[in-house]
A and B are shown apart, each in its own frame.
Chain A
Amino acid sequence: MPSISRGEVEHLARLARLAVTEDEVDRFAAQLDQIVQAVAQVGQVADQDIPPTSHAVPLTNVFRRDDVRPGLSQQQAVAAAPAAEDGRFRVPRILGEEA
Chain B
Amino acid sequence: MSELTRLDAADLAARIQAREVSAVEVTQAHLDRIAAVDATVHAFLHVDTERALDAAKAVDDDVAAGRPAVSPLAGVPLALKDVLAMQGAPTTCGSKVLEHWQPPYDATVTRRLREAGVVILGKTNMDEFAMGSSTENSAFGVTRNPWDLDRIPGGSGGGSAAALAAFEAPLAIGTDTGGSIRQPGAVTGTVGVKPTYGTVSRFGLVAFSSSLDQAGPCARTVLDAALLHEVIAGHDPLDSTSIDAPVPPVVAAAREGATGDLTGVRVGVVTEFAGDGYQPGVSAAFEAAVAQLRELGAEIVEVSCPSFDLALPAYYLIAPSEASSNLARFDAMRYGLRVGDDGERSAEEVMSLTRAAGFGAEVKRRIMLGTYALSAGYYDAYYGSAQKVRTLIMRDFEAAFGRVDVLVSPTTPTTAFRIGERVDDPMAMYRADLCTIPSNLAGNAALSVPCGLSGDDGLPVGLQIMSPALQDHRGYRVAAAYEVARDAAQGGSLITRVPELEVV
Binding site for B on A (CB under 8 A): 4, 8-9, 12-13, 15-20, 24, 27-28, 31-32, 34-36, 38-46, 48, 50-57, 59, 62, 64, 72, 76-77, 79-83, 89, 91-96
Residue from B317, B389, B443 in contact with A56 in the complex, judged by beta carbons closer than 8 Å: B443
Q: Which residues of B (284-330) have their CB < 8 Å from a CB of A?
A: 310, 313-314, 316-317, 324, 328
Chain B, interface SS category: helix
Q: Which residues of B (36-92) have their CB < 8 Å from a CB of A?
A: none
A84 to B30, CA, bound (A): 40
Contact across chains for B334 and A89 when beta carbons are under 8 A apart: yes
Contact across chains for A91 and B347 when beta carbons are under 8 A apart: yes
Residues of B within 8 A of A34 (CB): 426-427
Interface centre among A4, A43, A64, A72 (most CB of B within 10 A): A43
A48 to B391, CA, bound (A): 12
B397–chain A nearest beta-carbon distance, Å: 10
Q: Answer yes or no: B279 CB below 8 A from chain A CBs.
A: no
A94 to B350, CA, bound (A): 10
Residues of B within 8 A of A44 (CB): 310, 385
Residues of B within 8 A of A20 (CB): 356, 364
Residues of B within 8 A of A46 (CB): 380-381, 384-385, 388
Residue from B365, B371, B390 in contact with A53 in the complex, judged by beta carbons closer than 8 Å: B390
Contact across chains for A45 and B389 when beta carbons are under 8 A apart: yes
Chain B window 348-391, contacts with chain A (Cβ cutoff 8 Å), 1 for yes, 0 for no:
11111101100101001101110110010000111011111111
B102–chain A nearest beta-carbon distance, Å: 7
A91 to B333, CA, bound (A): 6
Residues of B within 8 A of A79 (CB): 102, 104
A55 to B361, CA, bound (A): 28
Size of the chain B interface, CB-CB below 8 angstroms = 71
Closest to B238 in A: A64
Residues of B within 8 A of A89 (CB): 333-334
Residues of A within 8 A of B390 (CB): 52-53, 56
Q: Answer yes or no: B458 CB below 8 A from chain A CBs.
A: no
Residue from A24, A28, A51 in contact with B391 in the complex, judged by beta carbons closer than 8 Å: A51
**Given A36-B372, A39-B313, A50-B388; 4 other pairs, CB 8 A cutoff:** A42-B388, A45-B385, A51-B391, A56-B211
Q: Which residues of B (185-226) have their CB < 8 Å from a CB of A?
A: 196-198, 211
Residues of B within 8 A of A13 (CB): 368
Contact across chains for B104 and A76 when beta carbons are under 8 A apart: yes
Residue from B102, B343, B361, B368 in contact with A80 in the complex, judged by beta carbons closer than 8 Å: B102
Interface centre among A4, A8, A72, A82 (most CB of B within 10 A): A82
Closest to A31 in B: B426
Contact across chains for A81 and B335 when beta carbons are under 8 A apart: yes
Residues of A within 8 A of B101 (CB): 80
Q: Answer yes or no: B493 CB below 8 A from chain A CBs.
A: no
Show 13 A/B contacts (Cβ-Cβ < 8 Å), sorted by A: A13-B368, A16-B371, A42-B314, A42-B389, A45-B385, A45-B388, A46-B385, A50-B388, A51-B388, A56-B444, A57-B443, A82-B332, A92-B346
